[in-house]
Amino acid sequence: MSLADLEFDYINPYDSALRINSVVLPEFITQGVLCLLFLLSGHWFMFLLCAPNLYYNFRLYTRRQHLVDVTEIFNMLDWEKKQRFVKLIYTVILLFFSIFWMVWTALEDD
């Protein structure tokens, strides 16, 4: 949303970058904890589905490319929007599989 607001000039670049950067690290931590929980609980399929996103987040963090730069936000606006959209679709697919496996397991016990 913040990128769309920036594109239509409803918000300034500093506020947009501040909003985006404030949720990046909690997103990475949540993804890592979720992947670790899948690994420890023995859900190998879900762990394998989460692993590429975890690797991508780790790679961004180690290369220090995980934060949005205020001065370059307009140059990278299309790329950032595409990247965030792909991550959103990936997360929705993971959510769908998680709900599916939860319902499957609950019905299998009966």
Pick the range with the lowest mean pLDDT from 8-22, 57-71, 89-103: 8-22
Domain that holds residue 36: 2-109
The pLDDT score that the predictor gives to residue 48 is: 93
Number of domains composing the chain: 1
Residue 66 has pLDDT above 90, yes or no: no
Residue 110 has pLDDT above 70, yes or no: no
Distance CA(21)–CA(2), nearest Å, equals: 11
SS3 83: helix
DSSP annotation of 56? H
Taking residues 44-57, report their average pLDDT: 92
Going by C-alpha positions, the residue among 3, 32, 38, 36 that lies closest to residue 19 is 3
Distance CA(37)–CA(73), nearest Å, equals: 34
Distance CA(55)–CA(64), nearest Å, equals: 14
Whole-number average pLDDT of the chain: 85
Radius of gyration for the chain, computed over Cα atoms and rounded to the nearest angstrom: 17
Going by C-alpha positions, the residue among 47, 38, 58, 52 that lies closest to residue 90 is 52
Taking the alpha carbons at both ends of the chain, their separation in whole angstroms is 43
